[in-house]
Structure 1
Amino acid sequence: MSEALTSQASDERGAQRIHLNAFYLFAYYGFGSFFPLITQYYDSIRLTGTQIGVISAVTPVISIVTQPLWGMICDRFHIRKQVLMLTLAAAGAIGLLFPAVSTFAWVFLLYIAMSVFQSAVVPVSDSLALGYAKRHNVQFGDIRMWGAVGFALAAFLTGLAVEQWGPAAIFYSYCGAYLIACLFLRRIPEHTDAAPFTVSVFKGLTQLIRLPRFVLFLAATFFIFGTINAHNIWFSLYYQHIGGTVAGVGLAFLLFAGSEAPFMKIAGYFVRRWGLELTILLSSTVSALRWLWYSTAPDTTWVIALFFIQGLSVGCYLATAAQFVRENTPASLQVTALAIYASIGNGLGSMTCNLLGGWIKDTFSILETYLFFGLASVAGLIPLLIIRFGPWKHASAEQQEQFASGQLSR
């Protein structure tokens, strides 16, 4: 009887893992359908470069407000799965409205509405996956890499669909992927891994900013993750500037994003060998060097041939950054901390990098935009160096709670 129960439990865990992997595959398929190719839609309705910059720079700031709010709702009511289901469905439905509009004002309003819901997808998904990884003693990167697979496939396949049927294919692919992700999400059980939420919104934020390692990591995320997100918007124009084709953009993103999956897998080995902090520092350094190299206008052949740089930089960073947040914040505030981390990178960092990057492009050229990305990433290395070699070492979970509540001082 015990062997049968053990076998049944093992089968259930296996099914849950498959559903979680499939969820990440389709959730990020939606991202891959949208962001690498959205400039093709902007071009089709004749938006100016300034208008594209405004949309890309201003709307991510919505996440600065909405991501922490979604996280706090999840912490307070323990309804992460329900929140994720709602936000996926709503974002996908709004996406279907884009082909019906053709003016800057309507695109801007729809993008804001979509961002309100889309901003919850990454932090809440990562919270569920990190909880699963902790319960079953698996690496978060082994789960998150399926998102990279989905993103890579979407960039390539949706690119082919755009060539065949036009930019509207972007939004049909985006919505369809989110709906399929919801179907797999329904089969994933939700477990409450965090302690009950017992503090107010402002008190929770006050507790988190008392943690120097967390605040330093937010500063690094602002620069490093901000430039990574901005690159997804501007690469299409950059690649064509250095002699590439629109078709080549889809191939590049297929290889770039595809390289993330194996490096997310390898990231676990790096963490075990060198530690979490050095792994993050290594990936961030590679990212900075990549943007500086791009600013020299290398041949497109070399950009494609060295596609794996994306995996070594972005893949390793994504696989380890959320883990760093979880290990350096109190258990009772981890969903909120993940939401703030994502809002800084996806929101404030992306807004700043897109806004300045667009202005630099109009004033100089897209090459100088990538030079700016490189210098900004170098600035992001400074807080990471302080985390690794500075006075604030990693604290235990109990000490984190005491530091956050003010019972201990740094």
Structure 2
Amino acid sequence: MASAVPRILRRRLSILWILEWGITGAILTYLPLYFTQHGLTLDETGPVLAIGAIGLWAAPIVVGQICDRWVAAQRYLAVAHFCGGVVLLTIPAATEVYRETGAGYGLILTLFGTFAAVYLPTIPLASALTFRHLSDPKTQFGGIRVWGTVGWVLAGIGLSLWLEQREVAAWLRQMFPSTASGIYAVARRFWFLPEPNSSHCFAMAAILSFALSSFCAFLPHTPPLHTSREAGSPVGWLGSLWRQKGLTRLLVVGSLLALVIPLYSLVVPKLLEQKVARDWVPAVMTVGQLSEFPALLLLPWCLRSLGLKATFAIGIVAWIVRYALFAVMAPFPWILFGIALHGVCHVYLIIVVQLYVDGACPRDLRATAQNLFAFVTGGIAMPLGLMLTQPLVRWSTDPATGDIDFGPLFAAPTAFLACVILAFWKWFPLEEGDAADASHPASSGGGSV
């Protein structure tokens, strides 16, 4: 039986995940609304999000091999998050120039691509660091990774509360008159704070990024496992990973799924804008992250009882259901239910893959393998999906009014996902041995599945 995670280690890894995903929670759900507010159309916003692929193109070789061979993972994280925080502070200035002059779109792309290049590889690297210090990731990772969800939720709700602070204060004074004096006292004490504006999402993310860069000094030392030249060339490790059937199958299916996943981040905020005030969209979107709590708690049971294949299929079905709800323009409570399915959509796909990769790969190649999967799905398939989303959005938009018809916009990916799950179930059957490996990701394996 695996030993319990030491309390101090659990706290440090949990804080790592709070800050890691807090950065994303502060900006991701608000980006489409922020950019359209500053004069960018959805056609222009898509490439800005797609340029994030730069961060994952280099990750398998640059980050994975560096941290597998030469540089301690926590040191790389510290440098990357400091650089990311600096870049985040420059993006609002470039966007403001574009809003006022219509020039500088290329600069926005460059800055966002630079941020992605330093930030996105840190996510799979944080997973590899966490797995490295857990004796049984299958049962222990969920309890630590769930703090990433906490960070995302707190950042999203915090952003909405900051942007709508006047409305929140007025509501508190109306509902709880006794709080009026306290509210005025807080306002007087923090008089020096600037008036809230939409660009503060980047400031919040930058603060979290600098905080994580500093906190990396307290993370457990995670030195490279390969330090000798005899470890093999990149061609060798790439070939050894490719020869493992289970990894290849998940990579193919994951890439197909990644083609339609970007539509969620790009379009759903615009859908919600029809239901709630713009500044409350980040808070409403956190409903999806809240659902990760039960999904993470149920994941070990699903892997043991259902196996990897059925668990992965549940994640695909969840995407089909949520897009179908958006396509039929269901009432707002059902739209919220579709957003709340995010826990199943994310945990039962992304984290299942991470656990499987950790169990199927040799210890010295796990960081590289995590980044390889992130590269193929997030660095190739997702940007391609964003590019395909643009003509789909144009096709679904009324040229006279500019209104989006969300029905056909979400019906197309719903049909595509239905085909993917049929193909996955029939042509990509993962053997029982594969599911067993995924259920014991801490095993010292290597070799083929």
Taking structure 2 as the reference length, the TM-score comes to: 0.79
1:271: which partner in 2? 303
Matches within 5 A, 1:151-230: 151-163=152-164, 165-191=196-222, 198-230=231-263
2:87: which partner in 1? 94
TM superposition shift of 1:39: 1.8
Partners of 1:275 and 1:324 lie apart in 2 by 11
TM superposition shift of 1:159: 2.4
Query: How many pairs align?
Result: 394
Q: Decide whether the 8 Å contact of 2:48 with 2:109 is kept in 1.
A: yes
1:101–1:389 Cα change, 3 Å: closer
1:144–1:382 Cα change, 3 Å: farther
TM superposition shift of 1:48: 2.0
Q: Which of 260, 267, 284 does residue 292 from structure 2 map onto?
A: 260
1:407: which partner in 2? none
1:350-384 alpha-carbon deviations (Å, 9 max, x no partner): 21221111220112244433233323433443564
Matches within 5 A, 1:372-391: 372-382=412-422, 384-385=424-425, 389=429
2:183: which partner in 1? none
Q: Decide whether the 8 Å contact of 2:78 with 2:214 is kept in 1.
A: no
Q: Decide whether the 8 Å contact of 1:194 with 1:334 is kept in 2.
A: no
Q: Decide whether the 8 Å contact of 1:16 with 1:187 is kept in 2.
A: no
- Residue aligned with 2:413, SS: helix
Whether 2:33 is the aligned partner of 1:40: answer yes
Q: Decide whether the 8 Å contact of 1:353 with 1:373 is kept in 2.
A: no
1:375–1:344 Cα change, 3 Å: farther
Q: Which of 367, 371, 377 does residue 335 from structure 1 map onto?
A: 367
Partners of 1:354 and 1:167 lie apart in 2 by 24
Partners of 2:292 and 2:81 lie apart in 1 by 23
1:323-372 alpha-carbon deviations (Å, 9 max, x no partner): 01112223332111100111222222221221111220112244433233
TM superposition shift of 1:73: 1.0
Q: Larger deviation: 305-314 or 315-324?
A: 305-314
1:61–1:348 Cα change, 3 Å: farther
Q: Decide whether the 8 Å contact of 1:276 with 1:320 is kept in 2.
A: yes
2:101: which partner in 1? none
Partners of 2:225 and 2:48 lie apart in 1 by 36
Q: Decide whether the 8 Å contact of 1:32 with 1:150 is kept in 2.
A: yes
2:187: which partner in 1? none
Tell me which amino acid in the other structure corresponds to 1:37.
Answer: Y
1:178-203 alpha-carbon deviations (Å, 9 max, x no partner): 22223333212124585667121222
Partners of 2:46 and 2:137 lie apart in 1 by 43
Partners of 1:386 and 1:325 lie apart in 2 by 22
Gaps of 5+ in 1: 1-8, 404-409
1:297: which partner in 2? 329
Q: Larger deviation: 336-345 or 305-314?
A: 305-314
Partners of 1:263 and 1:137 lie apart in 2 by 14
- Residue aligned with 1:111, SS: helix
Partners of 1:155 and 1:69 lie apart in 2 by 31
Q: Larger deviation: 68-77 or 137-146?
A: 137-146
Q: Decide whether the 8 Å contact of 1:230 with 1:350 is kept in 2.
A: no
TM superposition shift of 1:67: 4.3
1:5: which partner in 2? none
Q: Larger deviation: 170-179 or 206-215?
A: 206-215
Partners of 2:238 and 2:160 lie apart in 1 by 41
Partners of 1:291 and 1:137 lie apart in 2 by 30
Gaps of 5+ in 2: 99-104, 166-195, 397-404
Partners of 1:210 and 1:193 lie apart in 2 by 24
Partners of 2:310 and 2:225 lie apart in 1 by 27
TM superposition shift of 1:252: 2.2
Matches within 5 A, 1:261-410: 261-305=293-337, 307-364=339-396, 365-382=405-422, 384-385=424-425, 389=429, 393-394=433-434, 401-403=446-448
1:218–1:115 Cα change, 3 Å: same
Tell me which amino acid in the other structure corresponds to 2:345.
Answer: S
1:262–1:230 Cα change, 3 Å: same
Percentage identity across paired residues of the two chains: 16
1:211–1:48 Cα change, 3 Å: same
Q: Decide whether the 8 Å contact of 2:80 with 2:118 is kept in 1.
A: yes
Tell me which amino acid in the other structure corresponds to 2:150.
Answer: V
Structure number, greater radius of gyration? 2
- Residue aligned with 1:96, SS: helix
2:180: which partner in 1? none
1:134: which partner in 2? 135
Taking structure 1 as the reference length, the TM-score comes to: 0.86
Q: Larger deviation: 382-391 or 299-308?
A: 382-391
Q: Larger deviation: 187-196 or 361-370?
A: 187-196
1:9-45 alpha-carbon deviations (Å, 9 max, x no partner): 98x9211111110110111111000110012321232
